[in-house]
Structure 1
Amino acid sequence: MASKKHIGICLALLLTVAVSGLPDRASAATPDAAGIVADLGAGWNLGNQLEANANGVPSETAWGQPTITQALIDKVKASGFKTIRIPVSYLRHIGAGPNYPINAGWLNRIQQVVDYAYNRGLHVLINMHGDGYKTIGGSWLICDAANQAAIKEKYQKVWQQVATRFANYDQHLILESMNENFDGQWGRPTQPCYSNINSYNQIFVDTVRRAGGNNSTRWLLVPGWNTNIEYTAGNYGFVLPTDRYRSPSIPSTEQRLMISVHYYDPWDFSGAENGTITQWGRGSTNPSRRSTWGQEDYLDAQLKKMYDKFVTKGYPVVVGEYGAIDKSSADSSNPRYRADYVRAVTSTAKKYGAATVYWDNGETGQYGFGLFNRRTLAVTQQGIINAIMSGASR
Structure 2
Amino acid sequence: MKRLHGLMSAIALCAAGCGGGATALSTAPMPKPGEAAPYAPAAAARPTTGIALPLGKCVNMGDHLEPPHEGDWGRPIADGDFTIIKQAGFASVRLPVRFSGHALATMPYTIDATFMTRVHHVVDLATAAGLNVIIDMHNDDELYSDPAGNGARFAGLWKLVAADFATAPASVWFELANEPHDKLTNANLLTILNPALAAIRLTNPTRPVIIGGEGYSGVGSLATLPMPADPNVVPTFHSYDPFMFTHQGATFITPTPPLGRRFGGPTDIAGLNANLQAVQDYMARTGRVPFLGEYGANDDPAIPVSERINYYGTMSAAYASIGVQSCAWAYTNAFRLRDGGHWIPGMVEALRTTTTAR
Regarding TM over 0.5, the answer is yes
SS in 1 for 2:211: strand
Structure 2 partner of 1:129: 138
Equivalenced residues, count: 308
Looking at structure 2, the residues matched to 87 and 311 of structure 1 have their Cα atoms a distance apart, in angstroms, of 30
Partner of 1:174: 173
| Aligned 1:297-376 pairs, distance under 5 A | 297-310=270-283, 313-327=286-300, 329=302, 334-360=304-330, 362-363=332-333, 369-373=335-339, 376=340
- Offset of residue 70 of structure 1: 2.0
Change over 3 Å in CA distance of 1:42–1:312 after alignment to 2: farther
Q: Gapped runs of 5+ residues in structure 1?
A: 6-31, 54-58, 133-139, 184-189, 244-254, 283-291
CA distance in 1, matches of 2:158, 2:131: 22
Contact 1:40–1:83 (CA under 8 A) maintained in structure 2: yes
* Correspondence for 1:385: 348
How many angstroms does 1:275 deviate by? 5.2
Using the size of structure 2 for normalisation, the TM-score is: 0.77
Check 1:339–1:38 CA distance in 2 against 1; reply closer, same or farther (3 A cut).
farther
Q: CA deviation at 1:219?
A: 1.4
Residue 236 of structure 2 corresponds to residue 260 of structure 1 = yes
Instruction: Tell me which residue corresponds to 1:216.
Output: 205
SS for the counterpart of 2:215 is: helix
1:126 offset after TM fit, Å?
1.0
Give the secondary structure class of the aligned counterpart of 1:39.
coil
CA distance in 2, matches of 1:78, 1:160: 34
Give the Cα separation in 2 of the matches to 1:91 and 1:39. Answer: 28
Q: Secondary structure at the match of 1:127?
A: strand
Q: Confirm or deny that 1:272 pairs with 2:272.
A: no
| Partners of 1:204 and 1:355 in 2: CA distance | 26
Whether 1:101 and 2:125 are equivalent positions in the alignment is no
**Percent same amino acid among aligned pairs?**
26
2:227 aligns to what?
A: 240
Name the aligned partner's letter for residue 338 of structure 2. Answer: F
Q: Which amino acid aligns with 1:48?
A: D
Aligned counterparts, 1:70-219, within 5 A: 70-132=79-141, 140-143=142-145, 145=146, 148=148, 150-183=149-182, 193-211=185-203, 215-219=204-208
CA distance in 1, matches of 2:4, 2:125: 24
Residues 275 and 154 of structure 1: is their aligned pair in 2 closer, same or farther, counting only changes over 3 Å? closer
The CA deviation string for residues 23-66 of structure 1, in whole angstroms up to 9 with x for no partner, is xxxxxxxxx7599757311100111111011xxxxx2112232x
Gaps of 5+ in 2: 6-45, 250-256
Displacement, 1:382?
Answer: 2.5
What is aligned with 1:50?
A: 65
Contact 1:269-1:324 within 8 A present in 2 as well: yes
Which shows bigger deviation, 150-159 or 193-202? 193-202
Contact 2:189 2:226 in 1 (8 A): no
Task: Please name the residue that 1:2 is paired with.
Answer: 2
What's the secondary structure of 2:54's corresponding residue? helix
- Could you list the per-position Cα deviations for residues 214-267 of structure 1 after superposition, in whole angstroms to 9, with x for gaps in the alignment? x222211001003433432224xx321222xxxxxxxxxxx4221121111001
Structure 1 residue 106: deviation in Å? 1.0
Is this contact kept in 2: 1:94–1:100, CA < 8 A?
A: yes
**Secondary structure of the residue that 1:299 maps to in structure 2?**
helix
Report the aligned-residue RMSD. 2.7
Q: Which amino acid aligns with 1:343?
A: G
Deviation at 1:312, TM superposition (A): 5.9
Deviation at 1:327, TM superposition (A): 4.9
Determine which structure has greater relative contact order: mean sequence separation of CA pairs < 8 Å that are 6+ residues apart, divided by chain length.
2
CA 1:324–1:69: 2 relative to 1, 3 Å:
same
Deviation for aligned residue 1:347: 1.6
The change in CA–CA distance for 1:200 and 1:277 in structure 2 (over 3 A counts) is farther
Which secondary structure state, in structure 2, belongs to the residue aligned with residue 207 of structure 1?
A: helix
Given that 2:248 and 2:261 are in contact with CA atoms closer than 8 Å, whether structure 1 keeps it comes out as no
* Distance in structure 2 (CA, Å) of the matches to 1:276 and 1:60: 29
Question: What does residue 21 of structure 2 align with?
Answer: none
